[in-house]
Amino acid sequence: MSNAIFTKVLCAAAAVAITATGFSASANAQSRVVRTATVDYADLDLNSEDGQQTLKGRLKGAVRMVCGSYDSKNLVDVRDHGVCMDQANASAQRASVTLMAAAKSGKPIETAMVISN
């Protein structure tokens, strides 16, 4: 099996996990809540514009899924959601830059990547 095919097969199992940290508005505001979402990208050609745009869309959806909904009348929820969105977007941006650079160098990431803030 050629190296390129082997790498593609390994990438098929790879994913980017987007992690966002928020604060629980319930009982203990000091406890951290960590939420993650997995974004598959092995089926994408990250060297093409279409592949890059599809990855961006998937990352954007993962950010929305990680941060979820909030009560717009609850100031703590509004603040926590804003913090979550900022952290998840930063995590998604780091993941995107890392994946694009690896694809451009011809050395795609072969294992799952856990992004944390």
- Region 19-36 average pLDDT: 56
Q: Of the given ranges (19-23, 37-41, 91-95), which has the lowest mean pLDDT?
A: 19-23
pLDDT at 55 over 50: yes
Asked if 29 and 52 count as a contact pair (C-beta separation under 8 A), the reply is: no
Number of structural domains the chain divides into: 1
Interior angle at CA 93, CA 87 and CA 95, nearest 5 = 105
Beta bridge partners of 96: none
- Radius of gyration in angstroms for the set of CA atoms belonging to the chain, rounded to a whole number: 16
Asked if 82 and 68 count as a contact pair (C-beta separation under 8 A), the reply is: no
pLDDT of 64-91, one tens digit each?
988 989 999 999 999 999 998 998 898 8
Residue-number span of the structural domain to which 84 is assigned = 3-114
